[in-house]
A and B are shown apart, each in its own frame.
Chain A
Amino acid sequence: MKKVFIIIGLAILSGLLIKTQTFREAKQPEPNSPSFKKKEKISNFTTNKSKEVKENVLEKYQTLVLCYETQDCDFPNSDAREYDYSIGQAIKELFIKTNGLDIPDKEKENLLKALADQGINSYDGYVQAEALKIYSSLPIDRENLAKILSGLSQSNDPLLIEYAMKEFERYIGQPEEVDIAAFLSTLFQEGGQFSSEKASTLILSFINERTLAIYEQAATQIPETSRPGIYLRKALNEYYRIQSAG
């Protein structure tokens, strides 16, 4: 009797396995089967749709930027500055809407980065700020930093520079920090009054073995009475003090 039960049990088990196998096989459609073609169609559609979305967004961006050149877009123009500001706000809105798109994360990230790469060079400080936000959400990257440094090289906006300094902090300890040191040194020597002053109040954490010589050189070039010069020199003194334990 015992043997009968074992045989029946094995038979049942085998039957279950066969059924499972059949079920599994049934989940894998044949390459030429309608369900296989449907799955492929969905996958292609999603990729194509994302590509379409990307092209649309970038095209919209370029169209808006062209408005600066053509001067004939349908934006308010009731005072001298309104047209330019309106374009900037529209571009900023495009950034925000793109961030809200229902597309896979990786594709959204690539799309936002493509926008940031353009926006960091914008005439408009608000757009540059949006671009900075995007870069800040991405892992640190040498090329991204280079784009930021280039895009902000003529910026006079102290708030934008303050925001950028937070982004620069992510690169402390990385080889790229010498590029930041070069950028800030130029800012202190030749930059706008308010932006260079703001950056100089935040300089201490950027001074280390790798960047010291760059900042020391900058300190010799900046007038004694200039506020960025005063703050830079005091930060350097503090750095020396830290090294010598006060």
Chain B
Amino acid sequence: MKIFFTIFGLFLTPTLFAANPTPDYYRCINRVGGEWNYGRAPNGCDASAFGEDRTLLSNYPKLIFLDLENRTIERNRYMEEMHALIREAAQLYILKRNPQASRQEIEYWQKLVTATADQETFFSHYRSASDQRLKMMRGDIGHGHGMMQVDDRHHFPAIQQGIGWNLMGNLVYAMDILYPQWTRAPSQTCVGSSTNYEARMRAAWAAYNGGPSKICRFTNPNDKFANNDKGFHSKLKSQSWKKYVADLNKEASVDVGCLIENREDCPPPGDGTGSQVLEHTLYKQENFYCVRSGTKLSCVEESKNAVCLDTISKLNSLDSRTLPQHNLVVEIVDRHKICSQFSSSLLKVGNFLETKQAIFLRATPGGGALGVIPKGEILEVSDFEIRNLDSKDRYYKINLEGKIGYFYAGSASSYASWAIKSDQTAPIPSQIARMGEKIRIKNSAGINMRKTPGGSLLGNIPKAKELTVLSYIIQGSQNYLYYMVSYNGKAGYVYSGFLEPNSSVHLWTERVR
């Protein structure tokens, strides 16, 4: 841990808008070699330097190359999985950016992204190596991270956030760089038109590899890096990845759309859709996840809350199916309520906690180590996530001296050795006023007081009025804050904004100190 303190101390605060002087093989621990073949390109370093193994295993169980398995069989298996993921992700990505993209353009874009993954790393990203550790692809003397080789000198903040480590994050981040070159290419003299797809792919990749000014590099056989373009062209023409993929149309074993948007904690797609809504089965519709209980369909927003539906109807697994047509009564349930029921030891938003050991602070629950939270630190919970049906692993979002992030706080059985509820107040002032404190109404239209949060209207409390807080409650996917107050002889609730992703509380009330 001391080594990590030192390393983090050296690299925690890069200048945002400057190339970072990241050393070769930055945070590369237990480096292993490989071979220039699919899934095992050299080198690999411990993935845990950039993200949780637990999250990696949970999110991408079938997208890890297993070194100890029969090489030929494993390569075929891995390539089929990876190819499906890349194909689906590329399609969703281009349709998101250009809903009018033609079938032809989509296919060539998919081919470009696939060939890029091939050229950069032979599709290599995660690997379970012979030392029994999970590795992550690190090329270009360690500067290239993951399948698409996100460079840690020029994308250091993204690397710190775990984007290079997270397979989908890595791929999407790379497509964000590749796509503008794809759209720029037709206007270049070396391409000439939007349907000159071969030149367009070659140009886009040349710019991805060498920078925007190199977009026509592939036309110059004397360029210092002409071999890079030749290599890419060769891969584009041969498509040798196809040799390892039995089913080119296989569906991805992960929820690609969800991972593009959320990067972590997406229930994998289940088998088939079926025409009936079954009990104990998780269903998905748009951004909602649902479970049936009798004639009622209980739904919660956001994939990260899906596991808590287990408290309503015991889930067989977290595989989700597409919700078919139904006649059930739909009830939207509150994440705070069902997740507390799912695990009674889960701390609530607004609670203070004390860390019982030094713990990594991460940009997301599973990835991007930002630093270390010391043991004995008092912090306020601003959000939570709970994962895994059996272990009920919990993560809390906190603010550590201005650095906002998440930390792993143990499972249902081990949480007490990670972080426990505290009666002490965190040093950073809370946005939430507590019982007995005063708040002042800031909204120019005042705030309506209601019998229950969002319920029937009791009256309006005007701007500038000061009230004493009787209690507070947090509801909903954005952590909506409601205060219980007394006004004109009546007790009721006033809405005071949301806490996530960026707080709006200051538009509604302020704490009177």
Contacts and interface: CB of A to CB of B under 8 A. Distances in A.
A, B bound:
yes
Contacts of A241: 495
Interface majority SS (helix, strand, loop, mixed), chain B: mixed
Nearest to A68: B213
Given A192-B179, A234-B498, A245-B448, A223 B212 contact: no
B180 A156 contact: yes
B96 A123 contact: no
Interface in A119-177: 123, 125-126, 129-130, 154, 156, 159-160, 163
B157 interface: yes
Contacts, number: 121
Interface residues of A, number: 47
A242 B508 CA distance: 8
A64 B393 CA distance: 53
B3 interface: no
A71 B213 contact: yes
B293 interface: no
B224 to A, nearest CB: 6
A81 interface: yes
B495 A130 contact: no
A79 interface: yes
Interface stretch (B255-263, B340-348, B399-407): B255-263
A59 interface: no
Nearest to B497: A238
Interface majority SS (helix, strand, loop, mixed), chain A: helix
B427 interface: no
Interface residues of B, number: 57
B111 to A, nearest CB: 20
Interface stretch (B14-22, B269-277, B307-315): B14-22
B445 A244 contact: yes
B323 interface: no
Interface stretch (B37-45, B170-178, B371-379): B170-178
Candidate in B151, B154, B258 with the most chain A CB atoms within 10 angstroms: B154
A80 B209 contact: yes
Given A225-B261, A245-B460, A80 B210 contact: yes
A224 interface: yes
B447 interface: yes
A231 B443 contact: no
A160 B18 CA distance: 12
Closest 8 CB pairs between A and B? A84-B211, A246-B495, A68-B213, A192-B176, A129-B17, A156-B176, A245-B445, A123-B212
Interface of A: 68-69, 71, 77, 79-81, 83-85, 87, 89, 92, 123, 125-126, 129-130, 154, 156, 159-160, 163, 190-195, 201-202, 204, 223-227, 230-231, 234, 238, 241-246
Given A84-B213, A123-B213, 7 more contacts: A85-B19, A154-B180, A156-B180, A163-B17, A225-B261, A230-B287, A242-B507
28 contacts: A68-B212, A68-B213, A69-B213, A81-B151, A83-B210, A84-B213, A85-B19, A89-B19, A125-B17, A156-B180, A159-B16, A192-B179, A193-B175, A194-B163, A201-B501, A225-B261, A227-B262, A234-B498, A238-B497, A238-B498, A238-B504, A242-B507, A245-B445, A245-B447, A245-B460, A246-B443, A246-B447, A246-B496
